[in-house]
Every structure is written in structure tokens, then in C-alpha cells.
Structure 1
Amino acid sequence: MASTTDSATDESISLPRKSSWKYIGPGIVVAATGVGAGDLVATLIAGSNFGYTLLWAAVIGCLVKISLAEAAGRWHLSTGRTLFDGWTDLGRWTTWFFVVYVVVWGFVYGAAAMSSSGLPLQALFPDVMGLKWWAMLTGVVGLVFVWFNKYEVFEKVMTVLVGVMFVVTVYLAIRVTPNLGDAFAGLLPVLPDEKDSILNTLGLIGGVGGTITLAAYGYWVNAKGWTNSGWMKVMRLDNRVAYVTTGIFVVAMLFVGAEMLHSSGVAIASGDKGLIQLSDILADRYGSATAKLFLIGFFATSFTSLIGVWHGVSLMFADFVERYRKDRAGASETELSGEAVAAGRREKSVPFRAYLLWLTFPPMILLFQEQPFRLVIIYGVLGAAFMPFLALTLVWLLNSSRTPREWRNGMLSNAMLVIAGLLFLVLCVKQITDQPWAEFF
């Protein structure tokens, strides 16, 4: 008689009869991780500055991310190989880029994620302790949670937090009584009559929901037990649900910005502190209960991004270390490609936990001092470079013989990925040219 564990394993890898809502999971995780406080602030400020004019740009941003996440998931399912495994086929430069990226990006992002998660807690409980201590507490809680739990528990907790985010953002959007006529008009692609409106619009499109977490989507797909092309329809439904959910979050915050801020001429700061300002405005207009509800939603948004990165990028780092070791040991291609099913084992591996520690403890140094100037510049450039890297390498991989012919890119996929790559390349160049390089040297 088969054991309970064996039965569960067989059930998790058996092919679905048809695409079904009951399988949804990794998409919720990638949506929750990708939409952080920064995305909400950017959309809020877009609504504040331009009203409903850029609603169409937020929608296009979701469509672009659907294409990127679908491509990452399709690579994992059609080839049985992980994304990092595919990158190594393209040359050693991909490995060097990834290593530098995850080390520098992880160090700075860890501090930003902890600070963002601690900020609403400090606003909710101002007399308990200061922001730095709340930030460190959220980082440690995230570390402990990811360290001791497998993907199944992680997904359930993320789903609950997404539910909180959904309820809060939709409630606020309804509460501010949006002008639906203006909102529908905002679906027409019109640029604001402002300086740098094109770059601002591209920034909004590119900033909707996710950076490296889009690359992590394929790893979460494997962790769910989806390991071959029989799960392709389920993955695509899952991915669409993810970015419809993302679209609702973003549109709701744009409504809030358009109605509460644009109509009254109120400006808020960029960054997470803008959300604290919004809570003060909500308290004045709708009472403290609404303000506290918003802060709870703010915390759910920030903390899902924290634990999502803690889990997803740690899986990618563990995969990188495994590839490096096997490559050094001369492992065969068969051995390398069979590792897409190893997500459960990676969650308990030393590299996974080592990167968890890297994301949590070294960044705490930045909470007690100003961020090192040169490090922040490098972080900004690497962060801007990752999305064109992801889009263009996916075009490369999914049009080559590395992908089974049936699952290679069609015209629509190629068009969306090329558009995404060019969009992010423009934003990358802008990010690089905006950096104060004269002060760097």
C-alpha cells in the first residue's frame, strides 16, 4: 500500500484533465510579490498628477508582464529545465550578470523591503518601537517563515495576504466614488500634455508588478508540482488570473490618486512615505478606521513582496549554485535538465538558506546609516538592466531548438517580448543616464 507522502506526490504531478480554477496558485504568488508599495505609490502619483489619463498605460503594463511570466513558465514546462539552466546555454556572461545582480540587488533590496514592511506597523503602533526595529522584526519573521515552511504553506499565506490587499484596495476605490466616464476615457492611449510625458508613461507601464520575481514564476510553477507541458493550459490560466488581480490593484490605486489627490490638488511624496501621507488624508476625510484598514493593506502589500523575494529569489540562487557545482563536476545534460523538479529539495538546501540570510541580516546595516552612494547607483543600474535581460533572453531561448517546436514563440509572443525588451531597454538607458556619474568617481 502506498504511503500518504507517495500518494500526495503522485497527485501533485498527475496531469490535469482540464484547466481549472482549483489549481491556481503560483500566479497569485507572483502577483503578490511583484506588486509592492513602490508600485502602489507610482500609480497613486500617476493618478494624482494626470487623473485617469494614464489608465491605459497601467493596463498595458499588466499585458506586458503577462507575456513575460507566461514565457518563463512555458520555458520551465516545455523543456523540463530551469530558467537559469537556459541562461547558461547563452554564455558565461549571463552567469556573471546574475551573480553580480543577486548579490548587490539582494543587499539593497533587503533593506528596502524590511523598511517598507516596517513603516505601516510603526504607523499602526507608534508607541511600541521605532521604524528600524519594526523593519528588522519583519525581516526576521520573513526569514523564519520561509526557512521552516515549504511552498504549499507559503502559497496559502500569500493567498490570504492577497485577499487582504484586494479587499482594502477595492474598498478604497469604491469609497472615493470614481468617475467612471473619465475612467473609460482613460483607456484611450493619450499622452499627458507635460514635459517628459513619454518617459513617465513608459515608467508606469514598466513598473506594474514585478522585476526578478517574473523570472521566479517558473520556479514557483515547478514547486507547485507542475513539471511538464501537460500543465501548460493551467499555467496560462494561472498567469492571467495573476495579472488581472494585479490590474485591479493598480487601477484601484489610480482611482484613489485621481479622485482624492488630483481633484483636490494634493501632492504626496514619492516612496513608501507617500502611503503614510495617504493614510493621514484618509483619516481626515473618512475617519481613523479607514486609515487603519489602509495601513493593514499597505503592510500586506509590502510583506508579500518581502517573503515572495525571500522565497523566489532564494530558489533561483540555489539553482545557480547547483548548476555551477554540476558544471564543475562535468554533469551530463540529462542530469542538468532533470533538476526542474527539485524545488522542494532546494527549499532546504544550504544555498537557499544562505541567500535567505544574505537578504535579511547584512542589509540591516543600511537601516542604521545612509545608503552607500556608489552602491545605490550600481543597484539602480543593475535593477534597470534586469528586465531587458529577462525579456531578450526569453526571446532567444524560446525561438531556438532548445525549446520543443510546439512550444516555441508565435508571432504574438515574439511581438510582446520584443516590445517588453525595447520598453525596458529605454527605461534602462534613462536610469543609467539619470545617475550622477560625475559624483561616482
Structure 2
Amino acid sequence: MGGGSNGTGAGAETASAPPLRRASWRSIGPGVVVAATGVGAGDLVATLIAGSRYGYTLMWAAVIGCLVKISLAEAAGRWHLATGRTLFDGWRSLGPWTTGYFAVYVAVWGFVYGAAAMSSSALPLQALFPDVMDLKWWAVLCGLAGLVFVWFNRYAVFEKVMTLLVGVMFVVTVYLAVRVTPHLGEAFAGLAPVLPDGSLIYTLGLIGGVGGTITLAAYGYWVNAKGWTDASWMRVMRLDNRVAYLTTGIFVIAMLVVGAELLHSTGVALATGDKGLLDLTDVLADRYGTATAKLFLIGFFATSITSLIGVWHGVSLLFADFTAHMRARGAGGAESGAEEVAAGAREKSLPFRAYLLWLTFPPMALLFLDQPFGLVIVYGVVGAFFMPFLALTLVWLLNSSRTPAEWRNGRLSNGVLTAAGLLFVVLCVQQVRDLPW
């Protein structure tokens, strides 16, 4: 979504600003990473269930959800490029309350998410190799593999591997959507906004949930890690971001088609959570044979492992930046930002690797124990507040003097980001109400 006087992304060249670089398909990268990381197994289950319950009726909600994420990721990337400051630096300028919230969030969320990501990646592996080892040990193996991969590789290698895995996800999901023979007329009819009875909260969740996590905040860091550090990269970033969420939209629509054709028409119900994808595997095996079912499991694994290694890398960058700013503040020194990320200094830092260890080893305890009741509550509360926190702080930052005038929000960006913020507030309230108090 555009900002300020150059809302179309064309941008006027000024004497004080470098000319905008030409957007090229060969430059695309961070968007692929954020798309792959943001769409996890849970998102695929939610989309499948939407298709199984309502057929193609909520297709429009999936499309709007992708547009919302384009706006959020573009805003995060625009902040990094226009100001040369990181997003955490921007948050901290809004007051100490942001630092307090982020510190609690990144500690609790990382602990619980680590276990969830490892389990999600382990499920398809156990299904593919049922007699090799227990699910918990597959999960431990996935966590260790993610740790080793991110620890010893810099952003360039990380991006190439994520791009390869996205290719696997893309081929598998599109193949399945074509294989189930979609009814194109019904699919296009689903683009008209319609709310079936009892579907309001479910629809809002579909708009707000798919591809929407802390990885949207990490997008600006991946933009910097790519080497894009100033406003001359704005066109390139916008193309990259739009391609990312076009890809996400194809994933979502493909899984909605599978849910509508394979599950809705036959009345098959999936289990909630990632295990619902194993139910789909059984349906695919019965309908199309073992080879198709195994292909889906490979796609399931690619979807889960990209979320794991994406979070291991992206949120560790955020934590490293958080720590660097806290140290700079304590020492009274200058704060570093986008250039440090671009140089790879954050990826080599002790805080980056310390958070990698936090994501990997403490969560392994949760794989062997039921999640403590109190931890589930705290995780649910701090997690529910993150997306409204992100949307509304971006509105604040990009309408203030912290952002150069030509890159501040225009009406379209303000409208979409404000609407997204209000949507996430509603979802936050609903999520907190649904916690097992």
C-alpha cells in the first residue's frame, strides 16, 4: 500500500534522496521468506475447515486477508527503508511500555511456539516414516535441525533454502487444487462478500489469521538483511511484498478449493489443529491413492519446516535488535539499526544465538509434558495482543515526524492499517474470551 505523495510506488526523485531503483523479479527474496514463514500448518487447517464448512462462500475473506497482510508488511518494510531505523527502534520511541510488552511477549511466545513448531514439523515425518521413531523424537530432531541450519548460515543461504521449500509448497498445493477438479463458477461466486449464519467470528479469523504472525514484523529485518537499507529500494520492496502475498493467496485459495471439493461435498470433518492435516492425508489416500497422499505429506512438511526455520531466524533478529538497543541505552551510546542488520552483525551476535537456544531447548520440555495451565493463559493473552499492537503502532509511526514526509502514510494505507488494527482488536478480545480461564 502506498504512502504519502508517492502512494503508487513511483516516487518523486529529490535532490536529497537517491533515485528509486528499478524493481526487478530477480531481486525478490524477503517476501518469499515472510510468505513461507507466515503460512504454517495451522493456517492450512483453518483454511481447509473453512472450505469444508462453507464451500467456496468465504473465498472473499481469504483474498481480503492477503490484502491486509500486504499492507502490514509493506508498512514495516517502508519504515525500515524510509528511516534507516529498525522497527524495534521505532517501537521504543513510542515509550517504555512497548519495550515491556515486547520483552514479555518474546520470552513467553518463543517458549510455547518452539514446542508447537517442532511438533508440527514432526507430524508429517512420522506419517511418512511410521516405524522409525516416536513423534516427540521427530520433533526434537526438527528443532535441532533448525537450530544448526540457522546457527551456521547467513541470510543469503537461508533465503535460497526457503525459496526452494516455497516451490515445494506451491507445486503440491496447486496440484491438489487441480486434482480435486474445482468448480470455477462457484469459486468466482465466492469472491462476493457473503456471511453464512454463525460465521462472523470464523470469517474475521480467516481474514486476520492466515499468514499473520510476528513474522510480519520480521519482514523489515529481512529486507535489511537482503542489503536494502534506504528509500532507493522502495519500489523493489513493494514488488517483493506483493509477490509474497500473491503467493500466499494462491496457497490459501488452493487449500480452500481442496476443502470445498474434497471435504464439503462429502461431509468429511477434520480434527482441529495440525493433526487435521493427517485426516486429509487419509482422505487423499482413499480417493487418489498413496502417492498423492505422500506428496501432500511432503508439502505439509515443507509448510511446517519453513515456519520453524523462518521464526528461528526472523524472531532471533528481532530479539538481537531488542538487546542491542537496550545495551546502547544503558551505555548512553548511539543506537545501531538497518546497516548493522545488512552487514550480518546481528546474525553473528550472542543475543541472536541465545534466542535460538531459547526457541530450541526449553520448549523440548513441553514436548514431554502437558503445557502448564498458567503458561497457556499467559501465552494466549500476550499472543492475542501482538497483531493489534503491530498494526496500530505502524499507523502511529508512519503518520509522525519520525518518518520522512514523502514516505508517510497516505489515505489508503491509513484506512487499511486502521481497519486491520480494529479487526485484530476484535479477534484479540475473542481469543482472550476463549482461553480456558
Number of positions where the alignment pairs a residue of Structure 1 with one of Structure 2: 420
What corresponds to 1:114 in structure 2? Answer: 118
Is 1:185–2:189 an aligned residue pair?
yes
Judge conservation of contact 2:21–2:235 (CA < 8 Å) in 1: no
Judge conservation of contact 1:384–1:427 (CA < 8 Å) in 2: yes
1:336 to partner: Cα distance: 3.7
What corresponds to 1:130 in structure 2? Answer: 134
1:373 to partner: Cα distance: 1.1
Is 1:168–2:179 an aligned residue pair?
no
2:417 partner amino acid: L
- The superposition leaves residues 125-154 of structure 1 with CA deviations (integer Å, 9 ceiling, x where unpaired) of 001001000000000000000000000000
What corresponds to 2:405 in structure 1? Answer: 405
Judge conservation of contact 1:31–1:210 (CA < 8 Å) in 2: no
- When the two structures are superposed, what TM-score results if normalisation uses the length of structure 2? 0.95
**CA separation of 1:17 and 1:339: change in aligned 2, threshold 3 A:** closer
**CA separation of 1:326 and 1:124: change in aligned 2, threshold 3 A:** same
What corresponds to 1:373 in structure 2? Answer: 373
Structure 2 SS opposite 1:331? coil
Distance 1:210 1:366 in 2: 24
- The superposition leaves residues 241-285 of structure 1 with CA deviations (integer Å, 9 ceiling, x where unpaired) of 000000000000000000000001110101110000100110010
- The superposition leaves residues 13-40 of structure 1 with CA deviations (integer Å, 9 ceiling, x where unpaired) of x987411100000000000000000000
Distance 1:302 1:153 in 2: 19
- The superposition leaves residues 296-339 of structure 1 with CA deviations (integer Å, 9 ceiling, x where unpaired) of 0000000000000000000000000000000011124xx44565
Distance 2:426 2:343 in 1: 34
2:96 partner amino acid: R
Q: If each structure's helix is expressed as a fraction of its own residues, which one has the higher value?
A: 1
Distance 1:348 1:128 in 2: 35
Aligned pairs for 1:333-348 (under 5 A) are: 335-337=335-337, 339=339, 341-342=341-342, 344-348=344-348
Is 1:85–2:92 an aligned residue pair?
no
**CA separation of 1:312 and 1:16: change in aligned 2, threshold 3 A:** same
In the alignment, structure 1 segments of 5+ residues that lack a partner are 1-13
2:88 partner amino acid: F
- When the two structures are superposed, what TM-score results if normalisation uses the length of structure 1? 0.94
Distance 1:386 1:339 in 2: 26
What corresponds to 2:322 in structure 1? Answer: 320
Is 1:53–2:57 an aligned residue pair?
yes
What corresponds to 2:297 in structure 1? Answer: 295
RMSD: 1.2
Distance 2:88 2:385 in 1: 17
Judge conservation of contact 2:86–2:338 (CA < 8 Å) in 1: no
2:183 partner amino acid: N
Distance 1:122 1:286 in 2: 21
Judge conservation of contact 2:92–2:99 (CA < 8 Å) in 1: yes
1:369 to partner: Cα distance: 1.1
- The superposition leaves residues 45-96 of structure 1 with CA deviations (integer Å, 9 ceiling, x where unpaired) of 0000000000000000000000000000000000000000000000111001
Judge conservation of contact 1:118–1:135 (CA < 8 Å) in 2: yes
What corresponds to 1:8 in structure 2? Answer: none
1:44 to partner: Cα distance: 0.1
Judge conservation of contact 2:224–2:338 (CA < 8 Å) in 1: no
Is 1:141–2:138 an aligned residue pair?
no
Out of 204, 217, 224, which is 2:206 matched to? 204
Out of 95, 98, 108, which is 2:99 matched to? 95
